[in-house]
Structure 1
Amino acid sequence: MADTVPDHLEAALSAYVERHPEHGGRDGALAFIVESWLSENGFLPARQEGLRPEELDATNDD
């Protein structure tokens, strides 16, 4: 990515990072935002939530 980000985008990103510390800072937030946008707009497959195969057993059959 470019080394400079317009001031209005940098301010918005800083506010986002402050409200979402779970992303681990600026780089994590940027990765999350870009991945989310790419997925929502059909450039990446949608994320799937759920159990990993090794976590599946008869106790979690529905």
Structure 2
Amino acid sequence: MNALYTDKIETALRSFIADHPGTLSRDQAIATILENWFTSHGYLPPGQEGLRPEDLDASNDD
């Protein structure tokens, strides 16, 4: 990787960390970015909250 490319990535990474106050470290920021990219491109399933359909029954109704 050339220095210019590395500088652009480092600048973007610092900006990402500044925009995400809960990001505690460079490694955590990189992991978050990769997880988001992999999810948005279909390599990871999207995170879902709640019960799986097979776990639903009448006792789950509100």
SS in structure 2 opposite 1:24? Answer: coil
Moved over 2 A (4+): none
Could you tell me which residue of structure 2 aligns to residue 6 of structure 1?
6
Identical-pair percentage: 44
Shift in Å at residue 49 of structure 1?
2.7
TM value normalised by structure 1: 0.67
Could you tell me which residue of structure 2 aligns to residue 33 of structure 1?
33
Query: Which consecutive residues of structure 2, in runs of 5 or more, have no partner in the other structure?
Result: 52-58
TM value normalised by structure 2: 0.67
- Matching of residue 22 in structure 1 with residue 25 in structure 2: no
Rg larger in structure: 2
